[in-house]
Amino acid sequence: MKIQLYNTLTREKQEFHPLTEENVRIYSCGPTVYSYAHIGNFRAYLFMDSLRRVLKYNGYNLKHVMNITDVGHLESDADEGEDKMEKAARKENKDPYEIAKYYSDIFFRDMERLKIEKPEIIAKATDHIKEMIEFVKGLVEKGYAYETSRGIYFDISKLDKYPVLSNRKLDEQIAGARVDVDEEKRNPYDFALWIKAPENHIMKWESPWGLSYPGWHIECSAMGRKYLGDEFDIHTGGIDHIPTHHENEIAQSKGLTGKIPAKIWMHVEFLQVDGGKMGKSLGNTYTLDELQAKGIEPLAYKLFCFTAHYRAKLNFTFETGLASQKALMRLREGFVKQQEGTDEIEESKIKEYEDKFLATINDDLNMPSAMGIVWEIIRNEKQSKQFANLLLKFDEVLGLDLANSKKYLEMAKEIDLPEEINNLIEKRKQARLEKNWALSDEIRDELKEKGYIVKDTKEGMTVEKV
């Protein structure tokens, strides 16, 4: 069946045809691992996961790369400010590599909790310095890049067209632009490919331009090219990537290979919190742990994300999050009822649902409508294993772990815990987050003494009264 995907490049939905029969090649901009990923970030990876799952459901094999940015992402996308990794390292008094390892581990743990499939290739920026230097060298040789005392810059005036992805009007923006940081730049919108390291910069490498480090945009271009070639099928990211990061990735690739690297560019809209922007200073950049502490499971957050199309804004409040938690429990109960049902359903009815579901997800990943079909089946007056099996099939796309519904329901039935026990459990969760295994074990023993057994399962911690 045909798949329609919205392409930011052409600003329309278009029919998807992979470039080769073998694999659909996808590149997704991944996290900068200087801090905990928040629920806004995870909206982006949930979208990425829906795309993966829909393509696989349609029978495609994937070669999907996601990067881990562990160097070079400056505080502002416009080449200003400190490297986010270095800043975090200074603040936490740790080595930037330790910071990267710590936050990447938590990121992948959270991906698992959301049942987000891991892309086939995870590419860490610091493992690909050689490829990046080669890329920059190529651009210098072809006359697309030049050296200043601060680094190597891309000369946008050498391109036939810039920008191509966004509707940015450079002249207007230049008029209102902030004062440039580098007066040696030829054009205000030239951007850094490679940055010469100041004395106190920790992450730096030998290069033809001395001790230095990569710019954020070159990381994705070089790693995408290494694993997926000069041209691949789909590139994903958040809408914030459109005007700078992806625009500049395209510029770099056009400079080196003459090609826009991906055929389709897909972008997920932002998650808002309490009707406004998320921000560290606003104190509303919630993590999955913070949601969980308020009784909202990661999978309930996923279900919440399915209430809006990926190209629509979505507003999170604890109230709507808790409503999704209730909905998730109802979904599990409904699924178990279907599993235990004995009604006979005509095959044509099953087929009808199947076709409708496929047409819906293939229409630019319309997850809210797909969930509408799921609820229709759950609420059907007939109850049947055939419906349960159909829902399990749909769950290949949804990734809501419906197969374990019974287990989740049993876990939820566990007794209300006294405050003292709850506090100990929270303390233990924090200890585990900080990889303080000794403290975690100590608290487990204390809980045991008080008559509660904790078990650590893939889905999280469970507590039972002895």
Which structure tokens are listed for 252?
A: 């770099």
Residue 31 interacts, among ligand AMP, Zn ion, none and using kind-specific CB cut-offs from 5 to 8 Å, with: ligand AMP
Q: Is the Cβ of residue 240 or residue 290 nearer to ligand AMP in the bound state?
A: 240
| Distance in Å, CB of 29 to Zn ion, minimum | 3
Take residue 293 and report the two structure tokens written for it. Answer: 């502490």
The contact set with ligand AMP (CB under 6 A) reads: 29, 31-32, 40-41, 43-44, 237-238, 240-241, 268, 270-271, 278
Rounded Cα–Cα distance for residues 277 and 377 (Å)? 36
Residue 269 carries which side chain, given as an amino acid letter? E
Choose the contact partner of 97 out of ligand AMP, Zn ion, none; CB within 5 to 8 A by kind: none
For Zn ion, the closer CB: 74 or 447: 74
Residue 220 interacts, among ligand AMP, Zn ion, none and using kind-specific CB cut-offs from 5 to 8 Å, with Zn ion
Partner from ligand AMP, Zn ion, none contacting 271, C-beta within 5 to 8 A by type: ligand AMP
Give least dist CB 321 to ligand AMP, A: 15
Q: Shortest approach of Zn ion to residue 126 CB, angstroms?
A: 15
CB 170 within 8 A of CB 177: no
Size of the site for Zn ion (CB under 5 A): 2
The verdict on 165 binding Zn ion (CB under 5 A) reads no
Residue nearer to ligand AMP on the CB measure, 41 or 338? 41
Q: Which residues pair with 235 in a beta bridge?
A: 27, 265
| Residue closer to Zn ion (CB basis): 244 or 325 | 244
What mask of x and - would describe binding to Zn ion in positions 309 to 348, judged by CB under 5 A? ----------------------------------------
Q: Least Å distance between CB 32 and ligand AMP?
A: 4
Print burial letters for 282-299: b (CB count within 10 Å at least 16), e (below 16).
Answer: eebbbbbbebbeeebbbb
Residue 63 interacting entry, from ligand AMP, Zn ion, none, C-beta within 5 to 8 Å by type: none
Contact criterion met (CB below 8 Å) for 175 and 162: no
Q: Is residue 114 a contact partner of residue 45, using CB atoms and an 8 Å limit?
A: yes
Between 237 and 399, whose beta carbon lies closer to ligand AMP? 237
Stretch that binds Zn ion, among 56-64, 151-159, 216-224, 257-265 (CB under 5 A): 216-224
Q: Residue 220, interface with Zn ion (CB under 5 A)?
A: yes
Report the amino acid identity of residue 212. S
- What is the distance between the alpha carbons of residues 285 and 273, in angstroms, rounded to a whole number? 8
The pair of three-digit structure tokens given for residue 42, joined into one six-digit string: 């995870």
For 139, what's the count of Cα atoms within 13 Å in the CB-facing half-sphere? 31
Name which of residues 5 to 34 contact Zn ion (CB under 5 A): 29
Q: Say which entry of Zn ion, ligand AMP, none residue 151 contacts (CB below 5 to 8 A, set by partner kind).
A: none
Q: Write down the least CB distance from residue 252 to ligand AMP, Å.
A: 18
- Report in angstroms how near the CB of residue 269 gets to ligand AMP at its nearest: 7
| Cβ distance to ligand AMP smaller for residue 31 or 72 | 31
Q: What is the residue-wise DSSP string for 56-73? A: HHTT--EEEEEEEB-S--
Burial of 229 (0-12, 13-18, 19+ CB in 10 A): middle
Query: CA 195, 200, 202, 204: dihedral to nearest 10 degrees?
Result: 30
What is the C-alpha to C-alpha distance for residues 223 and 203, in angstroms, rounded to an integer? 19
* Chain residue whose CB lies nearest ligand AMP: 238
Least separation in angstroms between residue 107's CB and ligand AMP is 9
99: which 2 tokens?
């910071």
Nearer Cβ to Zn ion, position 253 or 338?
Answer: 253
At 365, phi and psi to the nearest 5? Answer: 55, 60
Nearest-approach distance from CB 153 to Zn ion, in angstroms: 19
In the bound complex, what is the minimum distance in angstroms from residue 67's beta carbon to ligand AMP? 10
Q: Which does 41 bind (CB under 5 to 8 A by kind): Zn ion, ligand AMP, none?
A: ligand AMP
* Least distance (Å) between residue 5 CB and ligand AMP: 17
Rank residues 240 and 459 by Cβ distance to ligand AMP and give the closer one: 240
Helical H segments across 282-418, by residue range: 288-293, 298-305, 318-340, 347-361, 367-378, 385-398, 405-412
Among residues 60 and 270, whose Cβ is nearest to ligand AMP?
270
Task: State how far the alpha carbon of 193 is from the alpha carbons of 72, 78, 246, 427, in Å.
Answer: 10, 12, 13, 44
> How many angstroms from the chain centroid is the CA of residue 241?
13
129/220 with CB nearer ligand AMP: 220
Structure tokens belonging to residue 243: 């005007």
CA angle, residues 182, 214, 235, in degrees to nearest 5: 110
Q: Which residues bind Zn ion (CB under 5 A)?
A: 29, 220
